[in-house]
Amino acid sequence: MAGSATAGAGGAGIEEKILSRDPETGDVTRLLRFAAGVQTTETITHDFWEEVWIVDGSLMDLGLGRTFSAGMYACRPPGMPHGPYRSPAGALLFETRYHRDRA
């Protein structure tokens, strides 16, 4: 999996592999890997929908005080705060990000 300094949650120890990207809409499907011991420092919000399925490992949302583990799914609407995160043993996430028109 190729590393990226702009992996969304961002920072050292977080890598992404882009599976698809729509250049017109900015919609993305990707794998996101947190190395063991990674901890982020920022709460994240964005202007797109985000759906996440944890494939392996676990991720602690420090803002919520909850741990999410393999097999769990989340759907975040635009503007929903999440993070910062900690992953003591590492995690692999399947993620889609998309914009949806509101007619």
Q: Which domains does the chain have, with CATH numbers?
A: 14-98 (2.60.120.10)
Of the candidates 76, 89, 83, 71, the one whose C-alpha atom is nearest the C-alpha of residue 47 is: 76
- Tell me: pLDDT of 4 over 90: no
- Tell me: pLDDT of 57 over 90: yes
Indicate the range of 2-11, 42-51, 77-86 predicted with least confidence. Answer: 2-11
- Tell me: pLDDT of 58 over 50: yes
- Residue 93 is given by DSSP the state E
What percent of the chain is helix, strand and coil (3-state, nearest 5)?
Answer: 0, 50, 50
User: Tokens 């969304």 — which residue?
Assistant: 8
